[in-house]
Structure 1
Amino acid sequence: MTIESILGAIVIGAVIGAIGRLLLPGRQAIGWILTIVVGIVAALVGTLLAQVLGVETTPGIDWIELVMQVVLAIVGVGLVAGLKRGHRV
């Protein structure tokens, strides 16, 4: 892995996490750093899932893979927000 690919993963993860958070209805009581971390994880897992399922890669944007990543980010943000809410006293 090069520094460019690591920085790219962080940027893409931040965008994926932000989209997932915006598409999730209601207010999420998590910070932006945690949103970015969830987005990075969702982007990596979404890419792996797309490869396992045999989603064909095309030149340009892989829309199916992108949708998988955003859906995973929505689920991840929801889970993290729910877990964080459950730990409040």
Structure 2
Amino acid sequence: MIEVTNAQVAVAKEKLKEARTRQKSYADKHRRSLEFQPGDHVFLKVSPARGVRCFGIKGKLSPRFIRPFEILDRVGEVSYRLALPPQLSH
């Protein structure tokens, strides 16, 4: 009985691995890599709590992205330093 259960677990793991690989291949077909250069402008995504505090609007109507900011330089592989106004910078 234990051998049967172990065999079923192995089959389930293999099926999950196949499904994960198939889903990854579907997702990768539609994904494109984005790279930005210093001087480009991007929108900044803000959390709902930050939106309430900075913009006075709460709930569903709070902004998800705020105006375009200039990229100053690239900090990491996917992180950038932006020219933020004093009220948004730490």
TM above 0.5: no
Between structures 1 and 2, the one with greater strand share: 2
Between structures 1 and 2, the one with greater helix share: 1
- Greater RCO (CA < 8 Å, at least 6 residues apart): 1
Q: Which has the larger Rg?
A: 2
